[in-house]
Structure 1
Amino acid sequence: MTQLRAEPYWFLRHGETDWNARHLSQGRTDIPLNETGLTQARLAGRQLADLFEAGVRPFTHIVSSPLKRAFVTAEHVRDAIRDRTGIDLPLTKDADLQEVSFGVQEGEPMGDWYNTWIAGTFVPEKGEDFITLKTRGIQALNRAQDAGEGAPLIVAHGALFRGLRAAMGLEINVRLPNAMPLKATPEEEGWVLKLLSA
């Protein structure tokens, strides 16, 4: 099993989409940000630009899922930092940061099946199992650590972050809010997650 490297990183879930607002399973379906999601992405960019403007360099590069809801969120962050500070961070895509494929469940309401999927006792037809998601998420994050001089900002998805939570030895099925930057830091007692307050 691929191991997650004990190095700090930042994570940002994409802004809201219409399917998020309707509590539908998105998975790999490439749903765009809605107006709320675009506003959230701009706010996240301002929050992170504030850190750079204050002289903090929290991350040195951005690696995003190629799905448009994540990549557009990442572009807003990159642009806000560049426009405020003149720092033009590299922004790249990694296909392994895509959201899980939920197969026939995509576009359907979220339900109790989600818990059994995490437990490994259920996989939607034509979908991806949780262990596969976790493994590729670990591999993508490890690659992102090698892609720059400092910590990366990962811009991706909720289920993918559940895979990373599993890799960090944390409670798995915790919903991460849309477009709220989070720092993950390995400590002696285990990983510590801290949301950047608005």
Structure 2
Amino acid sequence: MSQLLARPYWFLRHGETEWNARHLSQGRTDIPLNDTGIAQAKRAGEALAALFAQGERPFSYIVASPLMRAYVTAEYVQQAIKEKAGVELPLTHDRDLQEVCFGVQEGKPMGDWYNPWIEGQFVPEGGECFEELTTRAVQGVNRAQEQAEGVPLIVAHGALFRALRYAMGLEVNVRLANAVPVKACLDGQQWVLEQSLPV
């Protein structure tokens, strides 16, 4: 597995989809935001735009998963920052930031297979193992770090962030709420996550 570059980055999980609301496994299936998810994405954009409006520059560009629930969330953030702070940030996508493929489990209720999957004891038929996801997630974030000057905002997915937590040496199976931005940074040799925005 590649090592995560020791540089700060922001991470935003996409807004809610109908499958999130119904507790169904989404994986690589390209499900759009629902009305709640759109509202969440707009709120996250407004909260982040407020930092720019105050003169801060928390990140310099946005790199998203190409799946529509993440990319559209990123577009709402980009638009809010432009409208509220007059700052136009570049937005690109990277296929390595796509959600894990859960194979035959996609569209089905989340079950008791999820923990064994994280622990490397189970892979759904046609799916991707946690180790492969982690390697891909680290490569995607590292590539985002290297594509431009400054700090990136990564807009992607929940299981992918669990893989990044693993790469950062943090407790892995912790759910990240929809559309709540976090900053990942180093405190000495330790990764820490900061979540301080009122969204």
TM bucket (normalised to shorter chain) is: over 0.9
CA distance in 2, matches of 1:146, 1:122: 33
The aligned residue for residue 71 of structure 1 is 71
Amino acid at match of 1:147: Q
Q: Supply the AA of the counterpart residue of 1:66.
A: P
Q: Would you say how many aligned residue pairs link Structure 1 and Structure 2?
A: 198
Q: Which residue of 2 aligns with 1:108?
A: 108
Shift of 1:3: 0.5
Is the 8 Å Cα contact of residues 12 and 154 (structure 1) preserved in structure 2? yes
TM-score of the aligned structures, taking structure 1 as reference length: 0.99
Deviation at 1:163, TM superposition (A): 0.4
Give the match for residue 146 of structure 1. Answer: 146
CA distance in structure 2 between the aligned counterparts of 1:132 and 1:189, rounded to whole angstroms: 25
**2:84 matched residue in structure 1:** 84
| Aligned residue type for 2:46 | R
Is the 1:180–1:196 contact (alpha carbons within 8 Å) kept by the matching residues of 2?
A: no
Which range moved further: 171-180 or 141-150? 141-150
Measured after TM superposition, the shift of residue 197 of structure 1 is 2.6
Q: Distance in 2 between matches of 1:75 and 1:12?
A: 12
Q: Output the TM-score relative to the length of structure 2.
A: 0.98
Whole-Å Cα distance in 2 between the matches of residues 197 and 189 of structure 1? 25
CA distance in 2, matches of 1:196, 1:181: 9
Distance 1:110 1:130 in 2: 16
Percent sequence identity is 67
Whether contact under 8 Å (1:46, 1:80) holds in the other structure is yes
Corresponding position of 2:38: 38
1:102·1:128 contact (CA, 8 Å) conserved in 2? Answer: yes
- For residues 85 and 55 of structure 1, what CA distance do their matches in structure 2 show? 9
1:121 to partner: Cα distance: 0.5
Unaligned 5+ segments in structure 1 are none
Instruction: Check conservation: 1:185, 1:192, Cα contact below 8 A.
Output: yes
Alignment of 1:123-134 (within 5 A): 123-134=123-134
Are 2:163 and 1:174 equivalent residues in the alignment? no
State the superposition RMSD in angstroms.
Answer: 0.7
User: Secondary structure of the equivalent of 1:89?
Assistant: coil
Match of 1:28 in 2: 28
Instruction: Report the AA paired with residue 76 of structure 1.
Output: Y
Q: Which amino acid aligns with 1:163?
A: A
Matched, 1:47 2:47: yes
Unaligned stretches of 5+ residues in structure 2 = none
Distance in 2 (CA, whole Å) between partners of 1:144 and 1:33 is: 24
**Matched letter for residue 39 of structure 1:** A
Give 1:196 shift: 3.1
**What's the secondary structure of 2:194's corresponding residue?**
strand
